[in-house]
Structure 1
């Protein structure tokens, strides 16, 4: 068993994993888990972990130290990393020795950075997950939902593998927002007036300061919905809701389990990671895509990930 010490936690530092299952949501727990599931899985693969084991999700600059020899990996948009004050690579297996420190600094405030560790973080499992959810007061050493703070120590059940892996340039996530986010419309889409549907997909929206792991509130052209009573129903990750002011809210990992606002549809699963790495002031657009085309895009992404994850070559990703 090794230990990671939190030297500086940054704006927020959490333990996250693949999230809580549907049974937990049925009894009121939010799905939780990593906001950017793609980056989360990639740093786990770089550490030769199972893709769903807990990792760290941080905002702002943070620093860690270890008391053991292990491999770690850091991933996220536009992030710099130092091992004992020496610059090291992102999206690369890094071997840390006992006493080493790891400092992580994103270039843009508000993006999420993920740190995988060669082993399993030792925290209590709550309803099938070790994810910390501050909104619900769930998870963490004391099951109080508290984010990690300076001086906290996490136990790690280490594995003995020290892989040497890195991602090729085309394998790294593309976080840019110059292309619209794909939206698969839902059954309530037909209740919006036709010109409101067109207006939504033709408009630009700005990410506001009112964002969290629960959802992103956007600002732009308001969209009207006919006066009607709606039943509350389960909320999918990526659901685009329209409250009374007509400004869209995209629901994310820590969303509530039920909601009654009208919904245009859902951001496609393969595009959610781009949205979750957007920061206040960024501009977002949407485009409608059929469920069949969305599935085809998902399969293409899935095949690329399979080629990465199934590789056993320790030199994988090395430049040709």
Structure 2
């Protein structure tokens, strides 16, 4: 049971829940850019949470089934087609040997997740198969390579998978306005009240300078009273403000330390929504209380612990 990679497309990576416990050694976490879509792709197949799946950025991937198997697709609409017929995301499908699964360019969103029963077979490095190209870790053989032509994707488990149906409320609309919750960070007080007001009331545009390491935004500049700080650890979603005043939201493959002032940290589930935004999209920030963030996180996690 496997898929053969005919064309690897723009960027297709094996990702699991991420590589934890090594940031003090300079090793970042990796993991899915859109945690929401990744989790639901695995849920559709009844997989353990964090099971390895394929993260497809932008599209253009072409796969050929070498045997009968089941898969799940969630996240962005990348104009996926099965033997030429449209295949919307947020569902499971069965394929037979010789079937072709192809992806075009984004219709809605930017990243889709392809999950297999039990996960994708891959070689673990430092306890994870999450692919971080910069660090040469993860992927099918552990070397940090994206999917390549003639690679084979094998599920961890075989057999028939009982299909599940996505609840309507869990399917996001990637075209809706995005207002991200921000939890104040260590240097929050170094931004004056006027600068903070500007930050929370101004829309920002996603630039073309985005990747798995960070999203650079453009809009009303905000200036910290500190030009720099002693380098310190970087949390997922940290919003750095460099000297030009344009925010940088740090994502899954972020550096582990940094010396720019950080106004705060984007709530993880809002960060997943940001990962589906493309250059030119508009986003905003709103202040988020820690207790509210914890409540939202608890309610989300409950869906995958039952």
**TM over 0.5, yes or no?**
yes
CA RMSD in angstroms comes to 1.9
Change (3 A) 1:229 1:167: closer
Q: How far, CA to CA, are the matches of 1:157 and 1:143 in structure 2?
A: 16
Cα distance change of structure 1 residues 105 and 163 upon mapping to structure 2, 3 Å threshold: farther
Residues 30-109 of structure 1: matches in 2 within 5 Å? 30-59=28-57, 60-108=59-107
* Cα 1:229–1:170 shift into 2, 3 Å: closer
Using the TM superposition, give the Cα deviation of residue 188 of structure 1 relative to its aligned residue in structure 2, in angstroms.
1.2
What is the CA distance between 1:54 and its match in structure 2?
A: 0.7
The two structures have a TM-score, normalised by structure 2, of 0.93
C-alpha displacement at 1:184, in angstroms? 0.8
1:187-220: CA deviation from partner (whole Å, max 9, x where unpaired) = 3101111111111111111111111100001111
Aligned counterpart, 1:3: 2
Q: Which secondary structure does the structure 2 equivalent of 1:51 belong to? A: coil
Shift of 1:177: 4.5
1:25 aligns with 2:13: no
Shift of 1:246: 1.1
SS of the residue corresponding to residue 231 of structure 1 reads coil
Q: Distance in 2 between matches of 1:115 and 1:142?
A: 18
Aligned residue number for residue 171 of structure 1: 170
What is the CA distance between 1:169 and its match in structure 2? Answer: 1.9
| Alpha-carbon distance between aligned partners in 2 of 1:177 and 1:191, rounded to the nearest angstrom | 32
TM-score, normalising length: structure 1: 0.89
CA deviation after TM superposition for structure 1 residue 141, in Å: 4.1
User: How many correspondences in the alignment?
Assistant: 305
Is the 1:80–1:90 contact (alpha carbons within 8 Å) kept by the matching residues of 2?
Answer: no
Does the residue aligned with 2:133 lie in a helix, a strand or coil? coil
Cα offsets for 1:156-180 (capped at 9, x unmatched): 3323241211213222134345141
Tell me, which stretches of 5 or more residues in structure 1 are unaligned?
311-320
State the alpha-carbon separation in 1 of the partners of residues 109 and 64 from structure 2. Answer: 23
Q: d(CA) in 1 for partners of 2:146 and 2:87?
A: 26
Cα separation, partners in 2 of 1:51 and 1:247, compared to 1, 3 Å: same
**Stretch of structure 1 that moved more, 217-226 or 292-301:** 292-301
Runs of 4 or more consecutive aligned structure 1 residues displaced over 6 Å after TM superposition: none
8 Å CA contact 1:177–1:274 kept in 2: the answer is no
